[in-house]
Amino acid sequence: GGKTVHDVTEDICRQVEGKPTKSWMMGMAISLATLGIGTYAVFMLLWDGIGVWGLNKTVGWAWDITNFVWWVGIGHAGTLISAILLLFRQKWRMSINRAAEAMTIFAVICAACFPGLHMGRLWVGFYWALPLPNTWGSLWVNFNSPLLWDVFAISTYFTVSLVFWYIGLIPDFASIRDRATNKVSKAVYGALSFGWDGAAKTWMRYESVALILAGLATPLVLSVHTIVSFDFATSVIPGWHTTIFPPYFVAGAIFSGFAMVLTLMIVTRKTFKLEDYITINHIELMNIVIIITGSIVGIAYITEFFIAWYSGVDAEQYAFINRATGPYWWAYWTMMTCNVISPQLFWFKKIRTNIAATFILSIIVNIGMWFERFVIIVTSLHRDYLPSSWAMFYPTFYDVGVYLFTFGLFFTAFLLFAKFFPVINMAEVKSIIKSSSLKSNK
């Protein structure tokens, strides 16, 4: 829209420097209320033990692991948008990468809550997951277990994503520091900006570090959800023991991650009046990624059924027939509708460029991806080789409450980020402002 470099700084610093808006206050109140209800559920879980969940002898994993995998998946889009699109020099990422990276960090924190809570004794869980000798009172961890691979994969992913996100914030913190009028803001943003001076040599080092971190983060996009899929693929349970899981989980993670980025960015765009920066073009390109990944996920679902039939293994065939026609049929068909059918609507340009339709479909996709994880985990467990041990899983208030806790934590963290940090990468947007303006004028 013919913006100057000064306009970019003014527009993006406005929400950091100004008072919180009514819509931000309302959102924070809802998030804190959700977090409060969830905190009660977490306290009771730690007080009474995981028996308060709806787990039983047959279904030993349920909502907890479903939510863990769902949150890890949501964390994938941030690193993909930031790292891979940076390496491919895609300029359209520059308005959305900051919020996507923040979303990654908060989603991984939410995911990390579930394995800790599933241990039952969270206070000793911090060293149970570490390779400590027996003199400490714990056994050496089992390095053959994919659950331990999760610990290393997710901690590495979180560390690299956090450093990448923070490095990108430093020039913008310096801009806010230089504009600050009160001493507290000047001191806080001064400390956060690490003495950034904006010299050519500083920029050269900044760009080199960003490129190196992008190179490190790119394999993590593939490896993290691949390792999460190994939790299931390395078992011998029908419906889990399959080699398609790694690519299928990675595609599903990018699919759900992009949907969550769209949900957050559409709200941010409206709340902070950033229509000139998060444009219809950005939303359309992200919707195209959702079409591609949604189609890959659909092919994976069909492939699973074909391989179950082709294998000739009765237990494998039964597991998939049971998913589609058994007691949890409603979850399976919700998953298929939300993940395979709904993204195909984005083939129509009118729908993929419509803000309201995109917002609704992005939420539908994430509902479908939650049901995908639920279907994989619960329907494979609830009917095993012995009909005498078949059981149903019914979530309790505490299952739902812990999930609400992570929602409250995620949105509280995101709202605080959106208020006190620049939600769009000013430095990168300024670098493309001339070429973008020329393109829009044509």
pLDDT tens, position by position, 395-427: 999 999 999 999 999 999 999 988 888 888 777
- The per-residue pLDDT of the chain, averaged, comes to 85
Give Cβ neighbours of residue 83 (< 8 Å, ≥ 6 apart): 164, 213, 214, 215, 217, 218, 221
Token pair recorded at residue 6: 């000064």
pLDDT at 81: 79
What pLDDT does residue 404 have? Answer: 94
36-85 confidence digits (pLDDT tens): 999 999 999 989 888 899 888 888 888 889 999 999 988 887 887 788 87
Write the DSSP string, 5-71.
HHHHHHHHHHHHHSPPPHHHHHHHHHHHHHHHHHHHHHHHHHHH-GGGSS--SS--SSHHHHHHHHH
Question: Which residues of the chain register pLDDT less than 50?
Answer: 440-442
Angstrom CA distances, 21 to 15, 96, 237, stand at 8, 21, 51
One-letter amino acid of 315: A
pLDDT of residue 372: 92
d(CA 89, CA 59): 46
> How does pLDDT run across 235-275, given as a tens digit for each residue?
888 888 888 899 988 888 888 888 998 888 888 888 877 77
pLDDT at 442: 45
Distance CA 353, CA 285 (A): 9
What pLDDT is attached to residue 281? 85
What was the pLDDT predicted at 331?
93
